[in-house]
Structure 1
Amino acid sequence: MNFKCINLFIFRTEVNTLVKIFIRKIMILLLGALTSKLAFFTMVMTYVWLGNPISAELVYFILALLQRVRHAFNVVIPMGITESADFYASAKRIEILLKAESVTMNAVEENNLRIHESARVWLKNATVEIDGQQLLREITFDIDSGLTIVSGPIGAGKTTVLKLLLSEIRCKEGTVHVTGRVSYAPQESWIFPSTLKQNILLGEKFDRNRYEEVLKVCALTVDRDRLPAGDDFIVKEQGSNISSGQKARISLARAIYRNADIYLLDDCLRSLDIHVQEYVFKECMHRFLSEKICIFVTQNHHFFDKVDSILWVENGAVVKRSPDTVSSKNEQLEENISLYKHSNTTVSHGLITVYNFTLTLYSCLILGTVVLSVISAILLFNFTRAASNKLHNLMVKSMMGAVMYFHDIIPIGSIINRFSKDLTVIDEQLPFVVYDLLEILFSFCGVVILLAYVNLLFLIPVSVIVTIMYFMRKIYIPAGRNLQRMDMA
């Protein structure tokens, strides 16, 4: 039985950092929301405490001046501080990416330009160390022809040896010399949405004879003939409409079709049954690539006596042995999949509009505004965080309980998009939208009631405006919904 899981790797330190950022955003938003009110209150009360009489004309004059700077204090400055924090975080991530060690492309491109008459793979005292951990130490071997198997215990560094030959990682000490054009078949099959033929060619010039021979040695001829459109059969994303064995053989055929001097095959037969493995090994590795350098990673000990040499990898050391001196070890793969809870929290702020009836009442209202703003921000923060956790847990539970057919027809990119972009929209944008909706709705109702109380004739233009807005909404909502669905796809 096959099990499919979604790995969501969210580190606790990152979550804690995100919570700290949200708390700081709360303080910034509260400061922006309360600045104008506290400034106006301070100015009026200071003016009164100095013994000056207060009047409506003076109050409205002060309000007019504050309105000019209100937008800057409430929106521009808080947004600038928030965007500056986001810019700093993004700049640090880009800096890490730009400072990452790059592969020297000159040597790789030179090897890929032409077929070499004297292909060779030579390592001398090569030591690989990543993040302070030594993966390979002082490995030495020389291969200039034939079929070589790389084997050893799980996690010993077999794939690391191939990555070293591909220049994907660099050795800390020693020498790595690869002469010849290299073709590589990865351990995990990579299939892109296109035809079967294009998945195998991958930009190489089409040669009918070589193409048919590659299909034959990779045991794909029968599969191709059974497909509805043959070579033009459309393979879906990640090969969801073909079997894992077919994906592995297509990935192998892509590497074999490329005319190269050196073929690096990273355990690409492990998903095939034993009979197909033996056929592909005999026809492809043993016969078709007999005149090439083929380095094949495998755990199948039945192949050990059919190769020219064996590289046994164990405890970071690589020993070149002859087939008759290698003891077989048949181990099963063990996979540990961890699911970490992902918590997206959002913050918002509260804004309470009060009217100035008396100085005492106004002072109490200002104080109440500050207290309630802080309380509402904290409550909204906790509510949205709890709602986000519950929604995320329900989504994970539904995904883990979904039938296998669901995972076969839904691309993994769409699933990840639901857990990333969609949850981000719900967590960070929806609370603000709901809050703004309630604030605008109550403000609109208050204004309409006030106008109706003063003069009922004001309800006529209000009715016209509401009708126009209703029809504009009916036109916009379907188009906006379709555009959003296209963006989320």
Structure 2
Amino acid sequence: MIVYFGRTWFVQKLNEFLLSDEIGEDSWRTGEGSLPFESCKKHTGVQPKTINRKQPGRYHLDSYEQSTRRLRPVETEDIAIKVTNGYFSWGSGLATLSNIDIRIPTGQLTMIVGQVGCGKSSLLLAILGEMQTLEGKVHWSNRNRYSVAYAAQKPWLLNATVEENITFGSPFNKQRYKAVTDACSLQPDIDLLPFGDQTEIGERGINLSGGQRQRICVARALYQNTNIVFLDDPFSALDIHLSDHLMQEGILKFLQDDKRTLVLVTHKLQYLTHADWIIAMKDGSVLREGTLKDIQTKDVELYEHWKTLMNRQDQELEKDMEADQTTLERKTLRRAMYSREAKAQMEDEDEEEEEEEDEDDNMSTVMRLRTKMPWKTCWRYLTSGGFFLLFLMIFSKLLKHSVIVAIDYWLATWTSEGSINNSGKADQTYYVAGFSILCGAGIFLCLVTSLTVEWMGLTAAKNLHHNLLNKIILGPIRFFDTTPLGLILNRFSADTNIIDQHIPPTLESLTRSTLLCLSAIGMISYATPVFLVALVPLGVAFYFIQKYFRVASKDLQELDDSTQLPLLCHFSETAEGLTTIRAFRHETRFKQRMLELTDTNNIAYLFLSAANRWLEVRTDYLGACIVLTASIASISGSSNSGLVGLGLLYALTITNYLNWVVRNLADLEVQMGAVKKVNSFLTMESENYEGTMDPSQVPDHWPQEGEIKIHDLCVRYENNLKPVLKHVKAYIKPGQKVGICGRTGSGKSSLSLAFFRMVDIFDGKLPTECSHWLCGTISKLPLHTLRSRLSIILQDPILSVVPLVNPECKCTDDRLWEALEIAQLKNMVKSLPGGLDAVVTEGGENFTTASIDMPLFSEGILVECDTVPNLLAHKNGLFSTLVMTNK
């Protein structure tokens, strides 16, 4: 009954999902079925996700002269997209975008600009039909919207090769592919990958840097043969050199030579002079629309703001280009991808191993290894629960099954004696008393055995999880760079779930069925000793049956798991990249791929079920042979009818026992793989967390002045990789504001990580506050002491589901409001529901990328320079001011 209602609940939840609203073709084109216009005006509002309620500060910009390139006149028939009287929402009923009236010319470059959170990205998504249309219409040049090449602000990549991510299902054209990779400056990065563009980039592009992921997404949009291209802030993760190259070679030359319609969301206002059409946004509405010349004429104040900023950005570009024109960009990946030399060395080692294996391997060796039980892993699991519990479990189980056999034997003896001697009342009392004592002992031992098995399983799972958690917490940063997040989560979810819930009952069922099977064979042999003659061939047959079934079951189980993993990964990737998939109109392709992966997984499961049926048939035959042998042996065997009957009874039940012995043995072998995977993490080398200095030797206020001396610092991510920093020397005086500059991959982030001892410092010294109480390197300090005294704003901003800017609850509300006011976020946080107690979703998804950096700044002391590109130009000035004034 409980199972029935549980399944009914699942069906109900599935039905609710199927009945939920869908994005239809009509909403893409005309916005039919929208709410009344009066309702839109009544409920007009904004969402913290995309709208900054705070009044924007004045721009501090600057600019080039108006482009002299002749523009084509924008006629009515030259409009690719037109939005009239548009009100769009994310589903809450409040209009995130309001009063949108824009047009996007055909075959021209349209730029959308505005401050952080004004709704630029939301405008692109509204045009693509990803937002709910409250009022208004979106008109396309064609009746049905065709494919749109879309590169999102947050890069979305498939767990596939670089080439597959760029072509994205389109036919491979070598000439076009080469032109796209050159336009996006990807060829140098591809050359450093171990297998070039055939390298698997990992889940969510884990093996690539942020800039590389961004450029691959842009390359995918450029490669597609579409008339319309949407690029959402493609320069956010790129340095000035790469941004300028992408703008010149990728956007202006490559796209506009094809006469494609391009919509570009950007904060790089120095590129405004290349725009044919400009849409300026403010607080979810269109502030101004037109050419740069039109805005210069109609909105002088806005144009002057832009002009100031563009001149400043132009000067920064010239200084940066003059600073290092000849320095080669060191493309050492932060994810520590192997170089070509490492690849060649790796291939040589693989060839040597293959040669050795070819000499030794044969079919018998392979079969022996495949049928070998992982006894070492089983022993590690059993000993994880403690030797006392292991001894108690084995002893209680043996004693329990001995009592069970004794009960059956007692009944058989009682029956035989009663039928022969017609025992009196005294004898009956003796047998009743003995039977009662044995039954009471059996009940007690069953309770003890159940408690012991559960206790041991719980203790073993708890100890393994505790050890795994400690290893992960103390793991080196290199481990997290090279290990996919999904693999780590799988250890704490699927593998831990198997250890918690599956191994204990499987182990208990295996021991129970094995002992019952041995008890049955022992009782049959005792009742009819002739049965021992047939036991040998039956045992040989059973051995081969379980041997081949275990091999097949293990392989099929692994096949089922291996076919299920791509299915889950594809579903996860599809759900994460739905906006991009729908923009490209590749829904059918991804749906077909989902069905193919589902069919592949179902086939594997079907074969696994067929293997179980194969086992049942064979064990039934074997059980029938045992019953037949026991029956024939009883004809000329003992005259004790009770024992003969007991032997035949055990023979009838042994079929089921044999079946479960083999099944549980195969299941346990597969489930022990989870223990083996967890143990593989437990062998990982931990960080030197303690250091060589006692925490009591470090003053409470260290570092008080912030003096830093770097002497011949050499840093690498692993012992077998080349150094990413070589003989770095620097001296930073107390109170100085230091900027670390360099091109992408030059080692800026690696240097900052060296301060926190998150990378391998294999040579040189990095002393801080070198004085009479401390003169040495930071390697002497305990890691907790070192990292608790420094702060950092990461290159990829992170917000977790904790209080907004006070995760450790060490500051008062007044101090928090003061920090937010310095970061000019006080008004925005006040507008959030709950203020300082506002819920921050996972990864800070309800904040824009640029907004995330500013709350983190209030916590930071050490700031990475790559945080700045995520901010608007006028925010860059604020950011610089905050750095210079922060004490």
Instruction: Please classify the TM superposition score into its range, dividing by the shorter chain length.
Output: 0.5 to 0.7
Letter in 1 for 2:244: E
**How does 1:78-477 map onto structure 2 within 5 Å?**
81=1, 83-105=3-25, 118-131=79-92, 135-144=96-105, 145-153=108-116, 157-179=119-141, 181=146, 182-192=148-158, 196-207=162-173, 210-223=176-189, 233-238=198-203, 239=205, 242-290=208-256, 291-300=259-268, 302-303=270-271, 307=275, 308-314=277-283, 316-320=284-288, 324=303, 358=432, 388=461, 391-392=464-465, 394-399=467-472, 401-403=474-476, 406=479, 414-451=487-524, 453-462=526-535, 464-477=537-550
Gaps of 5+ in 2: 31-76, 290-294, 296-301, 311-396, 412-430, 563-887
Determine the C-alpha separation between the residues in 2 that align with 1:389 and 1:133.
Answer: 48
Letter in 1 for 2:278: S
Relative distance call for 1:194 and 1:360 in structure 2 (3 A) is closer
Offset, 1:102: 2.0
Relative distance call for 1:150 and 1:464 in structure 2 (3 A) is farther
Relative distance call for 1:132 and 1:229 in structure 2 (3 A) is same
Offset, 1:293: 3.8
Q: Deviations over 1:311-358 (max 9, x none)?
A: 3353x44534656266779xxxxxxxxxxxxxxxxxxxx999676764
Offset, 1:286: 4.0
Offset, 1:127: 2.8
Higher RCO (C-alpha under 8 Å, 6+ residues apart):
1
Q: Deviations over 1:160-181 (max 9, x none)?
A: 3322221123223333334464
Determine the C-alpha separation between the residues in 2 that align with 1:293 and 1:397.
Answer: 54
Sequence identity percentage:
25
Relative distance call for 1:179 and 1:96 in structure 2 (3 A) is farther
Determine the C-alpha separation between the residues in 2 that align with 1:228 and 1:384.
Answer: 44
Letter in 2 for 1:271: A
Bigger mean CA offset, 395-404 vs 433-442: 395-404
Contact 1:129–1:136 (Cα < 8 Å) also in 2: no
Contact 2:166–2:217 (Cα < 8 Å) also in 1: yes
Determine the C-alpha separation between the residues in 2 that align with 1:430 and 1:204.
Answer: 47
Q: Deviations over 1:391-410 (max 9, x none)?
A: 45554554455555555655
Determine the C-alpha separation between the residues in 1 that align with 2:476 and 2:509.
Answer: 40
Contact 1:217–1:284 (Cα < 8 Å) also in 2: yes
Relative distance call for 1:481 and 1:466 in structure 2 (3 A) is same
Give SS of 1:130's match. coil
Offset, 1:184: 0.4
Determine the C-alpha separation between the residues in 1 that align with 2:242 and 2:79.
Answer: 32
Determine the C-alpha separation between the residues in 2 that align with 1:220 and 1:193.
Answer: 18
Q: Deviations over 1:8-49 (max 9, x none)?
A: xxxxxxxxxxxxxxxxxxxxxxxxxxxxxxxxxxxxxxxxxx
Counterpart of 2:602 in structure 1 is: none
Contact 1:193–1:234 (Cα < 8 Å) also in 2: no
Contact 1:192–1:235 (Cα < 8 Å) also in 2: no
Contact 1:150–1:297 (Cα < 8 Å) also in 2: yes
**How does 1:3-14 map onto structure 2 within 5 Å?**
none
Contact 2:161–2:200 (Cα < 8 Å) also in 1: yes
Determine the C-alpha separation between the residues in 2 that align with 1:196 and 1:378.
Answer: 54
Offset, 1:99: 1.9
Contact 1:124–1:176 (Cα < 8 Å) also in 2: no
Contact 2:165–2:220 (Cα < 8 Å) also in 1: yes
Determine the C-alpha separation between the residues in 1 that align with 2:444 and 2:126.
Answer: 62
TM-score by length of 2: 0.36
Aligned residues: 380
Bigger mean CA offset, 98-107 vs 381-390: 381-390
Relative distance call for 1:382 and 1:243 in structure 2 (3 A) is same
Relative distance call for 1:281 and 1:121 in structure 2 (3 A) is farther
Relative distance call for 1:407 and 1:425 in structure 2 (3 A) is same
Give SS of 1:438's match. helix
Relative distance call for 1:384 and 1:176 in structure 2 (3 A) is farther
Contact 1:304–1:310 (Cα < 8 Å) also in 2: no
Determine the C-alpha separation between the residues in 2 that align with 1:133 and 1:389.
Answer: 48
Determine the C-alpha separation between the residues in 2 that align with 1:298 and 1:378.
Answer: 64
Contact 2:86–2:100 (Cα < 8 Å) also in 1: yes
Offset, 1:276: 0.6
Determine the C-alpha separation between the residues in 2 that align with 1:201 and 1:362.
Answer: 78
Offset, 1:382: 7.5
Give SS of 1:183's match. strand
Contact 2:89–2:97 (Cα < 8 Å) also in 1: yes
Determine the C-alpha separation between the residues in 1 that align with 2:202 and 2:515.
Answer: 49
Q: Deviations over 1:37-79 (max 9, x none)?
A: xxxxxxxxxxxxxxxxxxxxxxxxxxxxxxxxxxxxxxxxxxx
Letter in 2 for 1:204: S
Determine the C-alpha separation between the residues in 2 that align with 1:282 and 1:440.
Answer: 73
Determine the C-alpha separation between the residues in 2 that align with 1:386 and 1:320.
Answer: 67
Relative distance call for 1:236 and 1:94 in structure 2 (3 A) is same
TM-score by length of 1: 0.61
Determine the C-alpha separation between the residues in 1 that align with 2:455 and 2:282.
Answer: 52
Q: Deviations over 1:272-291 (max 9, x none)?
A: 22221122123333444455
Give SS of 2:251's match. helix
Determine the C-alpha separation between the residues in 2 that align with 1:254 and 1:488.
Answer: 31
Determine the C-alpha separation between the residues in 2 that align with 1:390 and 1:324.
Answer: 65
Determine the C-alpha separation between the residues in 1 that align with 2:459 and 2:194.
Answer: 50
Gaps of 5+ in 1: 1-80, 111-115, 330-349
Relative distance call for 1:108 and 1:359 in structure 2 (3 A) is farther
Relative distance call for 1:172 and 1:301 in structure 2 (3 A) is same
Determine the C-alpha separation between the residues in 2 that align with 1:442 and 1:82.
Answer: 32
Q: Deviations over 1:213-236 (max 9, x none)?
A: 333322234445666776x63444
Structure with greater Cα Rg? 2
